[in-house]
Structure 1
Amino acid sequence: MKKINLILLFLFFPFFQNLFAQCAMCRAVLETEDGGVKAEAVNNGIMYLMVFPYLLVAFALYFSYKVYKKKHK
């Protein structure tokens, strides 16, 4: 199990910094403003909200794996 966690960490963690999560309409509206500070804030907010569903799925899979292992011992 520890090997799988390390493999997943090394596969997915480096890509988090390169993601841009704005939709085309949000990007078009926010790029017309000067400075781009609002656009970066909106992008960071979208990324923040996007993480939670993945964390919920990861925890659900982890706990179901623990229950599965406990049942088969």
Structure 2
Amino acid sequence: MKMINKYLPFLLLLLVLFCMPLLVEAQCPMCRMTAESNLANGGQEGEGLNNGILYMLATPYLLIGVIGYVWWRNRKKDDEVELETK
């Protein structure tokens, strides 16, 4: 059981990475039209726009994941201390 608990966060991260698509694009129609016209004229701003959108999309999920992991780890330590005192 200790081995499963030790590797559970790693396995969950691995599962999430396998479920993610390799190419994700998320833009509103106006942004998409502007980015496509810029790329057609030889500009590079369209690629940066896609990366910025993905960065903003991922940030809340990463924050919630980190907070959840810290909470889970501290809760686990509290449970172990409680078991030792009984």
Q: Give me the TM-score of the superposition, normalised by structure 2.
A: 0.64
Root mean square deviation of aligned Cα: 2.2
Larger radius of gyration: 2
Amino acid at match of 2:25: F
Identity, % of aligned pairs? 36
Pairs aligned (count): 72
1:43 corresponds to which residue? 50
Point out 4+ residue stretches in structure 1 off by more than 3 angstroms: none
Bigger relative CO (Cα 8 Å, ≥ 6 apart): 1
Q: Give me the TM-score of the superposition, normalised by structure 1.
A: 0.72
The answer for unaligned runs of 5 or more in structure 1 is none
Amino acid at match of 1:38: E
1:6 corresponds to which residue? 11
Deviation per CA, 1:6-43: give whole Å up to 9, x if none: 2432x332435311122222102221222352111111
- Are residues 35 and 13 of structure 1, via their aligned partners in 2, closer, same or farther at CA, if it must alter by over 3 Å? farther
Tell me whether 61-70 or 30-39 shows the greater mean CA deviation.
30-39
